[in-house]
Amino acid sequence: MNRLLGMAIGAALLAASPAYSCCLFKCCSKGYAAPAAPCAVAAAPVAAPAAVTYVEQKVITYKYEARVKQVDCTVYTEKWSDVPCEYTVMTPISRTEKRPVNRCKEEWVDQAYEYTVMKPHVVNEKRPVTRYKHEWIDVPTECTVLQPVTTIEKRNVTSYKQVWEDVPCEYTVMKPVTTVEKRPCTTWVCVPRTVTQTVPVSTYSNCGGGYSGKGCCCFGWGGGCCGKGAPAATVCGYQTVCSTVYDRVAQTTMVDVPVTRCVPTVVKTTRKVCRHEPVVTVVDCPVTKCVPVVVKGSRKECKVTSFVEQVECSYTVCKPEVVHATRKVCKVTPYVEMVDVVINECKPVIHKATRKVCTMVPSVVKRDVHYTECVPVETTIKVPVCCQTTAYASPAYTSGGCCGKSYSKGCCFFKCCGW
C-alpha cells in the first residue's frame, strides 16, 4: 500500500511544471525560470516564511481481497448391487471298467544244439633249410699313400714402413670484428603542463539566517546547501585554480652501439700425415708337399658259402570237430488277460449364484472455492503547497529567479532556500 502511494506521488510531481521542482534538482543555479546571474551577495531584506497549505488529491490504489464463490462439481458415488450369475465347475467322476492287457509267460526248456571246435594236432616232417658258412681268406691289394716332402724355397715378402711428412692444409676460423653503429633509442621524459579549472568556493556571509543573493541551493560542496552542507550563512562562489600535471612523452635519440660480428677467415698451415710405403724382402721358406706313393699289401676278406641241409620240423595243425550238446532256453508265450481299470473323468456342472457389482453414480454438488481478486480503491490524500506572502525588495527575488515565481508555485515543497 505504501509503495503504491509513493509511486502515485512521484508521478504527480514529474507531471507538474518544472518550476514545482525548483529546489529538487540543483535549483537556484540551473532553475527552469529565466536565467539569472550567479549567486551573489545582494543587500535585500530577508523574506518572511512562506505559508504552507494542503490540497486534497484523489489517488487510485489497489488491494487484494479474499473472496468465495460456489462452483458446481460432479461427484461419483459407489453403489453396490447383487447381480445373478452362472459359473461352470468341472466335477470329477470315477468308474471301473474291464480292459484287455497283453502279458507274457516265461518257461525254461532244454534245446539240442551243435557247435564246432578247432582241435590242435602235432605233425612231424623233414624240410630243406639253406645255411651259410663264413671263411676268412687273404687277398693281395695296392693303395696310394700321400707322403709329405719338405724343401727350402726363396719367396718375396712385402712389409710396410710408416713415413711421416708435412702436408699443407687450410681451415676457416670465425674471427669476431667489433664496429660502432648508430641505433635509435627511445626514452620517456616527464613534461610539466599547467591545467586551469573553475571550482566552486564557499564563503561565510552574515545574511541573517539565510543565503544572500539568489541563494546557493545546489548540490555542490559539502553535500549541498539544501540539507547537510555549509551553515546557513555560507555563500557560493567560483574561483579559477591552476594545477601542474606531468605528461609522459617519448623521445627517440641516436646512440652509438658497439656491434660484434663473426667474419670467416681462412688460415693456412701444415699438418703431419702418416704414409705407408711397401718394402719387398726375399726370405727362405720351408715348403712341405705331399707326394703320392703306391704301397702293396694284403687284406682279410670274409667269404660266405651257402649249402642245403635236411632238418626235421614239428608243427601244430588245428582241425574242426563238431560237438553235440543241450542248453537251457527261456521260452516266452504271450497271452491276453482282462483287468479292472479305474477311470477318472471331469464333467462340467453349471451352478447359479449372485455376485456384488459396484456402479459409479454421478451427482452434482455445490462447493465453495476461495480466490484472491485485485480491487481498485480511491483514496484522498493531502498534498502540501507552498505560497509566498511577502514581496522582496530586490529584483532578483521577483524576476523569475530561484525564489521568484517558481518559488511561489512550490519551491518550499522540500524545505528549500532556508526553510
CA atoms within 13 A on the CB side of 335: 7
Over its C-alpha atoms, the chain yields an Rg (Å, rounded) of: 75
> Per-residue pLDDT for 108 more than 60?
yes
Residue 13 confidence (pLDDT):
57
DSSP labels for 281-313? EEEEEEEEEEEEEEEEEEEEEEEEEEEEEEEEE
Residue 30 confidence (pLDDT):
41
Higher pLDDT, 128 or 6: 128
> Per-residue pLDDT for 385 more than 90?
no
Q: Could you report how far apart the first and last alpha carbons of the chain are, in Å?
A: 30
> Per-residue pLDDT for 225 more than 90?
no
Residue 173 confidence (pLDDT):
92
CA quadruple 107, 109, 113, 119: dihedral sign: positive
Contact 107, 331 (CB under 8 A): yes
Which single residue is written with the C-alpha cell 605528461? 247
DSSP letter at 210 equals: S
> Per-residue pLDDT for 261 more than 50?
yes
Is the pTM higher than 0.85? no
Least confident window among 127-131, 293-297, 304-308, 395-399:
395-399
N residues, the chain:
419
Higher pLDDT, 394 or 91: 91
Higher pLDDT, 299 or 211: 299
Three cell numbers written together for 351: 451352478
Residue 6 confidence (pLDDT):
61
Confidence category of residue 52, pLDDT binned at 50, 70, 90: confident
Give the mean pLDDT of the chain: 77
> Per-residue pLDDT for 163 more than 70?
yes
Cα distance between residue 101 and residue 338, in whole Å: 6
Residue 3 confidence (pLDDT):
58
CA 299-302-303 angle, 5° bins: 120
What pLDDT digit, counting tens, does each position of 295-354 carry?
888 888 898 999 999 988 888 999 999 999 999 999 999 999 999 999 898 999 999 999
Contact 225, 218 (CB under 8 A): yes
Question: 381: how many CB neighbours lie within 10 A of its CB?
Answer: 15
Q: Which residues contact 60 (CB under 8 A, 6 or more apart)?
A: 8, 376, 377, 378, 379
Confidence category of residue 262, pLDDT binned at 50, 70, 90: very high
Least confident window among 92-101, 219-228, 327-336:
219-228
> Per-residue pLDDT for 389 more than 50?
no
Residue range 152-157: average pLDDT? 90
Cα distance between residue 225 and residue 319, in whole Å: 159
Residue 26 confidence (pLDDT):
41
